[in-house]
Amino acid sequence: MNALSSIIAGKKNMGSSHFNSTNPANREDILGTFANATLDECREACLAARKGFEQWKKTPAPIRAGIIANFGKLIEKNKEAISQVLTREMGKPIKEARGDVQEAIDTCYFFISEGRRLYGQTVPSEMENKELYTYRRPIGVFACITAGNFPFAVPSWYFIPALVCGNTCVWKPSEDTPRLSLIFAELLYAAGVPKDVFHVVFGSGSETGANLVSLVNEGLIDKVGFTGSTEVGRKIGEICGRNLQTPCLELGGKNPLVVMPDANLDLAVNGIIWSGFGTAGQRCTSLGNLIVHKSIKEPLIKKIMDKVASIHIGNPSEENIFCGPMMSERFLKKHLENLDSLIKPHHRLITSKNGQITDQNKPERFSGNAQLGFYAHPSIVDNVNENDAIYSTETFGPLFNILSFSDLDEAIYLSNKTGYGLSSAIYTENIESSYKFRSEISAGMTSINNSTTGAEAHLPFGGNGKSGNGSRQSGIWVVDQFTKWQAVNWDVSGKLQLAQMDTSYINPSDYVVKI
């Protein structure tokens, strides 16, 4: 029995620990009950993946890519149904949910051709009758832990290239979106991925996730992928580092958005609101620090507040909703803790309603069930400076700060000093400012006159500093995460030839130019 089936069957085992998948817009709506995988079940999944690897790596890459083509077609065929489950389970507005699913489709179609482009090279030898080649080889068993905020797109970033490259996979999805993760796996199997090639272990990050990563120490895992907090990423990095492995870490952010005095303020406001409050601020690329030139700060704030007042918050299945609930009660509680502990007396909380949305404290444009959902007001904190904890703390919720600056050098300094380096943005009509910002910003991704959020399936995604270890997802660059290089030295001379020793070097003559 494959690991996925064994864990699902475990729901009937009264000795196992279980958790529910709950609709964050309606806590009375339960999408399913799932069993927490034990260490033994994680080990069983890895051993099965190791066994499956022996055949999968021999399957021609174009055939593996053909299975991914099937996967893309199945997602496309079921896009609306998947999107509805995503919205119901995670709380993302339906328009965003459709985008999440579409990104998985786009990723499939991008990597179909990569199955025919896992290129190596032929390299000239310094010897006669000798051939040199390089090949990309699959790494082996890939274990991955993903977050719930992009529950269909981000797993596709990992698993589609990993499978095309010939690796087998063990996945611990977010405990916030297990139903959707099950659909993801079922579609892969329906597309033709063998059951021993892809395995899912459900459970919490602190238990099942930790159990899974610990198996690196037993030699059962060859590569780890993780999307989540910097704190957990460091722990995974330590385990992998001790085993001479390099994980793929996509971690947190405190993303800056700079507004120059020559910016189109209406355009900037749209980007600010989307960056700060889209997905209820629950993106690693969400706006953290709005860094505004002093000369335009007050007019920009007025435009921002007018825009905030127009936001529709509520039931994410409704088409006109901009912001739905937070993913779960624990994320809402953490957001409330941040409002309580990070905001100091010298700060100015410019949003009039903050914290949890209740029946007694609802925004004007609200259509959800405040009593049953995990909703939060958008919050904006002004008068923040670089010495404040809130300046450098990832808050992962509908909350961002405002800082002011005098010149671009100061804005870049404030953008970089947090130590994070995931995403960034600048709004300006000045080419020199754009060039300087994109050259000196430390973030792995930057936008000019666009928001801090938004990724396309063929562009590298990832961060630097506290936001990651330099690994990248998406596009052709991700192939480097899931393959290892093999150099082949093929001597057909019939004799031992030693490079640098038996090489016939040609020396220059003693010719001297006469003037």
CB half-sphere exposure, 240, CA atoms < 13 A = 24
Q: Of the listed 42, 108, 284, 323, which one is catalytic?
A: 284
Q: Which of 152, 57, 156, 162 is nearest to 101 (CA)?
A: 152
Contact 103, 473 (CB under 8 A): no
- 277 three-state secondary structure: helix
Count of positions (residues) in the chain: 515
Is residue 240 part of the annotated active site? The answer reads no
Q: Of the listed 103, 175, 250, 394, which one is catalytic?
A: 250
Name residues whose C-beta falls within 8 Å of residue 444's C-beta, 6 or more positions apart in sequence.
421, 422, 423, 460, 461, 462, 463, 464, 467, 468, 472
Contact 103, 455 (CB under 8 A): yes
Q: Which of 437, 429, 453 is nearest to 265 (CA)?
A: 429
Contact 235, 207 (CB under 8 A): no
Is residue 284 part of the annotated active site? The answer reads yes
DSSP 426-486: EE-S-HHHHHHHHHH--SS--EESS-S----TTS-B--EETTBSS--BSTGGGHHHHEEEE
What are φ and ψ of residue 30, in 5° steps?
-100, 125
Give dist(CA 290, CA 275) in Å, integer: 10
Mind telling me the catalytic residues? 250, 284
